Structure 1
């Protein structure tokens, strides 16, 4: 069975998003062009890494090649939810990132999980023996926008524990810094000291 490679050269939209409540969210990346929608499922950490690497790639392109690229931003322009119904084509295992100097575009490739070990040469390759893939070409503005939205989505989960930094859950939290025990606040009542000074 030949692999499916979903290519978007001029997507109308390329975003990450989630379904579910904080602490039980499923993460997706979705590419949209006209009526064509392709969604893939991935881990929260993968979304964070992809956003970080996109920003780093664009910074490096600007530095090394003196190529004008969109500036990094914290502002999220696209606040719309994912297109529904969400039917994931596959779960992402390997991610690839590149720069197309001819088109001045960022190339993102997300490959399906596979039991076979993958060689780096399979990324951005159209040969028939690889896993299914989503390949998207982005302007520098669209790439920065994807990174900004992804960072906001990743950080919008459960708040961290002030002691250990792990996410807090609605049904409780076992903190490694307290050996799993909930510490109650200690009230320091005023204490009267009687000083008996016989030396006076």
Structure 2
């Protein structure tokens, strides 16, 4: 069966957003070009790792002599996107992801594959992925957009439940019973 590829080479919008209240949120990677919109569900940890790894790549590129790809050190203000997600129709739940750099177009490349029965959700960026997927989301974004994407994603991830300063566990809206971890 051929792989269905949802490809976005120069998306109009690419964001991570959530639906639900802190503690019960579902994270989505949403990409739009024109009227084509794809939304894939992700775990909070996948979102956090994706933002971290994108920033790592951009920070490495900025150190190259002369910054040949014009990588911004911070988020360009004109690329900040704090809008809500557009209506979500989940395409698939993300399992394996890959992240790369295309120097020919100066773009970060994200590939996301549906979760399968053979993998665990802890395996966000695997060492080797040879299996043929039925579906893939491939997003290419320029360096400024990637920097803005990473910033927004970190903010979305950090907007969850507050953390207890004593036990380090999330505090629910209906209260918190502190359990001090054993040493």
Determine if the TM-score, normalized by the shorter chain, exceeds 0.5: yes
Preserved CA contact (<8 Å) 1:9 1:137: yes
Name the residue aligned to 1:145: 148
Return the offset for 1:105: 0.7
Are residues 1:154 and 2:169 paired? no
TM-score, normalised via structure 2 length: 0.86
Of 84, 89, 104, the match for 2:106: 104
Distance 1:163 1:137 in 2: 42
Structure 1: tracts of 5 or more residues without a match: 180-200
Aligned pairs (5 A) from 1:5-20: 5-20=5-20
SS at 2:49 equivalent: helix
Structure 2: tracts of 5 or more residues without a match: 120-125
Return the offset for 1:64: 4.4
Q: Classify 1:19/1:131 alpha carbon distance in 2 versus 1 (closer, same or farther; 3 Å).
A: same
Are residues 1:57 and 2:57 paired? yes
Distance 2:72 2:149 in 1: 12
Preserved CA contact (<8 Å) 2:54 2:147: yes
Return the offset for 1:72: 3.1
Return the offset for 1:74: 9.7
Distance 1:19 1:70 in 2: 30
Are residues 1:167 and 2:167 paired? no
| Larger strand share, 1 or 2 | 2
Aligned pairs (5 A) from 1:117-156: 120-122=128-130, 129-156=132-159
Distance 2:8 2:33 in 1: 7
Are residues 1:24 and 2:32 paired? no
TM-score, normalised via structure 1 length: 0.79
Aligned length: 173
| Cα deviation code 1:49-104 (max 9, x no counterpart) | 100100001111222464331223497811111111x1111101111110101111
